[in-house]
Amino acid sequence: MADIDVEAVLSQLSLQDKVSLLSGIDFWHTHPVPSQGIPSLRLTDGPNGVRGTKFFNGVPAACFPCGTALGSTFNAPLLRLAGRTMGLEAIAKGAHCILGPTINTQRSPLGGRGFESLGEDPVLAGLGAAEIIGGIQETGVQACVKHFVCNDQEHRRNAVQAIVSERALREVYGLGFQLAIKGGDPGAVMTGYNGVNGVYCSESRELLEGLLRREWGFGGLVMSDWFGTYSTTQAVKAGLDLEMPGPSRFRGEGLKFNVQTDKVREWELDERVRGVLGFVKRCAGSGVREGAEEGTADTPETRELLRRVGGEGVVLLKNEGGVLPFKGKGRRTVVVGPNARVAAYHGGGSASLKAYYAVTPMEGIEAKVEGEVGYSVGCYSHKMLPLIGAVLTSPSGEKGMRMRVYNESPGVEGREKTDELVLEKTELLLVDYKNPKLKSDLWYADFEGSFVPDEDGTWEFGVVVCGTARLFVNGELVVDNATTQRQGDAFFGSSTVEEKGFVQVKKGETYEVKVEFASAVTSKLAGNNVLFGGGTLRVGACKVIDPKKEIAKAAELAKGADQVIICAGLNADWETEGSDRENMDLPAPMDEMIAAVAAANKNTVVVMQSGTPVRMPWIDDVAAVVQAWYGGNETGNVIADVLFGDVNPSGKLSLSFPKRVQDNPAFLNFRAEGGRTVYGEDVYVGYRYYEFVEREVLFPFGHGLSYTTFEFQGLQVAEEDGKVEVSVTVKNTGAVKGAEVVQVYVAPKQAAKVNRPRKELKGFTKVELAPGESKRVTVDVETKYAASYWDEERSKWCAEKGEYEVIVANTSDVRAKTLTGSFTVAKTFWWTGL
């Protein structure tokens, strides 16, 4: 891909060329202008792995741990290395730009995409994102940091105005982007779906031209979120360069006409085109040729890195009596829980992808333990029935279901198939399914597979669809999701609820499952299904269990064990783009199951998989809790490494875990009402709030235990030439090699003109030490960032004259052992920019 001279090319473009460049041609590609050497660029999700161009039956990829896990590493060099590997993955997929990282703020534990973001603190998110961006862009691939700004909930995300004070916008929601741009210089920024204070982000001249470009000096591309452009003239004038996806809804001939009639001046159009051309120039450094074939990069080095990143993000929340690490040899081990035999390796929505492989916790544990590992499911945790593909065999003998595609409906004699595939994953988003043999948007597909039950009982089957679908077992209709349909929230809110049916089965007999599907145009829903081309289909099934009997069985199994591991938590159904969680509880009856197993065996460890906090009413009854997040391809190995001591946990919570959702500062304001969401907690997000009102949390921001112990000594704080230098000696005082995070907080020692949080994170570093080893580490923070708040009277940052306490600890917990020093600001000053 050749380099271009932006101004020379711009001068040669016709009006038609210019307008074309400002929108995509399809879901993932921009418009080319071959006559001027401008190629079509390929964009790709996403936040925790590079999917490529296909939602449906995509090319496998490396799945990284989720955003909150990446944030919990508190390891800047490691995040840069992760970013570089993401860039190499993008090159393998023929992509020029990765749509990530995500750095929106977790105002509430209930945010559907909370797992995607790096944390609740803007300094952690901003500095971490800068490293990921830097790593990605070392490869020439560009990063697109998102979603600017206040895109912090899924409820009516396309139709909500975030009502937020100027101060909170700057100190919390914008600061992460400010630091990411300052430290990472991303090639692109993506606007949020939402509006801020009455103006949609993609139409906000104040945000895009004022804050992003003029104040922060951002010189890259500004693109919309997918279908997040809402106007022709306003968005162009505001500074939105690229409308995605294509084909355009708001540009094209409409924009061309508005330029010809001076509603949009040609110089304004040229500014937008400059943004696109500059981005094309930056992408040339990737060496990715236009229209490259999508491939894979599943190397031993990538696998090793995924395992390392996952291990450093795992947080040991509790370890009473040093029950962990477990011993692998000569111990009877029992594993309980619904997350044991499945790999919950990513959240839902844009973060989902088809992984190269996925290690289940059970597989990881069995690799560490000699002899048989006892197992009981204990209870179910699914929101929708587990995908059926994993238990079916296709007619050709492969795992999954055979998909045959037709132009004609079932019952038409002699119809000819146009396509045939075998799919293991029976969750299909057909937005990008293409088949040249299909004659129209109306088409049909049959999905077939069989299974043999290992015991008598009842099976439950479920179907979600955008389109229509009927499920048959041995020729009998079990689920009819065609005759009448009910709106659901799956697949970004485009599809039906899960309609279900039951079948009695007998051990050893074969059961043929068939689904007759018709494409999206047959849908009877009145909702938003226009975005998804061919439609959607999700087919799930599982054996029906008696919850009380399963809990009793699990408790009985645990009684005689030396070590018990409960694999609990959520999955991509519960935490997903398009919908927020209704509460902070685990799916019932998981709490009851955990309590029963813990009562049966005091050596019970809970491995919790979730991207955001869950309530833990049983916390005092279990010996240990490990927060494992969604761990990517290496999920099971990462969990087992920590449980059995091959990895000494060093992760720190990237967000506070409240005891109850009612304790969260956004509890009363976390949904759209009357088209708006009021950010009533202002700057008091996360730990800032809990400390200020002295409300006890379950686990504080920055918390995380180790299998060894550390000591901080010899704190020195020096302020000179606009920089605060914080130095401390860290010593490993235990018997095991491990890593510790030095967290640097700053607190004003005098009353400010405005109320301020008790303390705020300003920097961090991670250091690995052998037993008895000591190292001197330094954290540097610019004085203006260390001391300032946003002064709404002047619309500038203000660093007030006075003394500022520097607090160094390994957690935000006010009860923790800390070292304190201070620095002085001699004279009040105001500033803007980076």
Condensed to tens digits (0 to 9), the pLDDT of residues 54-100 reads 989 999 999 999 999 999 999 999 999 999 999 999 999 999 999 99
Indicate the SS3 state at residue 510. coil
> What distance in Å separates the CA atoms of residue 292 and residue 304, rounded to the nearest whole number?
27
DSSP assignment, residue 96? Answer: S
Average pLDDT over residues 599-623: 98
pLDDT for residue 815: 87
pLDDT greater than 70 at residue 453 = yes
pLDDT for residue 46: 82
Q: What is the tens place of the pLDDT at every residue in 427-442?
A: 999 988 989 999 999 9
Average pLDDT over residues 744-769: 97
Provide the percentage of residues in the chain whose pLDDT is more than 90: 94
Average pLDDT over residues 361-380: 96
pLDDT greater than 90 at residue 268 = yes
Indicate the SS3 state at residue 262. coil
Q: Considering just the CA atoms, what is the radius of gyration of the chain in Å?
A: 27
pLDDT for residue 541: 97
Residue 737, class by beta-carbon neighbours within 10 Å (0-12 exposed, 13-18 middle, 19+ buried)? middle
How would residue 330 be classed by pLDDT, with cut points 50, 70 and 90? confident
pLDDT for residue 531: 58
Q: Which two tokens stand for residue 191?
A: 């606007």
Neighbours of 621 (CB within 10 A): 16
Structural domains in the chain plus CATH codes: 306-382+547-641 (3.40.50.1700), 384-543 (2.60.120.260), 710-831 (2.60.40.10)
419 a catalytic residue: no
Contacts of 420 (CB under 8 A, 6+ apart): 402, 403, 404, 405
pLDDT for residue 528: 54
pLDDT greater than 90 at residue 469 = yes
Contacts of 267 (CB under 8 A, 6+ apart): none
Residue pair 54/434 in contact (Cβ under 8 Å)? The answer is no
Q: Using H for helix, E for strand and C for coil, what is the string for 654-692?
A: CCCECCCHHHCCCHHHCCCECCEEECCCCCCCCHHHHHH
pLDDT for residue 527: 64
> What distance in Å separates the CA atoms of residue 480 and residue 716, rounded to the nearest whole number?
70
User: One of 45, 121, 152, 225 is an active-site residue; which one?
Assistant: 225
Strand partners for 429: 536
Distance of CA 495 to the CA centre of its chain: 22
pLDDT for residue 279: 98
Q: Which two tokens stand for residue 620?
A: 């005092």
DSSP assignment, residue 632? Answer: G
How would residue 526 be classed by pLDDT, with cut points 50, 70 and 90? confident
pLDDT for residue 1: 63
pLDDT greater than 60 at residue 121 = yes
pLDDT greater than 90 at residue 30 = yes
> What distance in Å separates the CA atoms of residue 6 and residue 276, rounded to the nearest whole number?
9
pLDDT for residue 532: 66
pLDDT greater than 90 at residue 328 = no
Q: What is the tens place of the pLDDT at every residue in 775-825?
A: 999 999 999 999 999 999 999 999 999 999 999 999 999 888 899 999 999
> What distance in Å separates the CA atoms of residue 158 and residue 156, rounded to the nearest whole number?
5
* Percent helix, strand and coil across the chain, each to the nearest 5: 25, 30, 45
The CA distances from residue 209 to 150, 259, 536, in Å, are 17, 20, 38
Average pLDDT over residues 435-460: 96
If phi over 0 gives left and psi between -120 and 50 gives alpha, with beta otherwise, what is residue 630? beta
Contacts of 539 (CB under 8 A, 6+ apart): 387, 388, 389, 401, 426, 447, 461, 462, 463, 471, 515
Average pLDDT over residues 721-730: 98
> What distance in Å separates the CA atoms of residue 595 and residue 247, rounded to the nearest whole number?
54
Average pLDDT over residues 483-508: 94
Indicate the average pLDDT of the chain: 96
Residue pair 32/39 in contact (Cβ under 8 Å)? The answer is yes
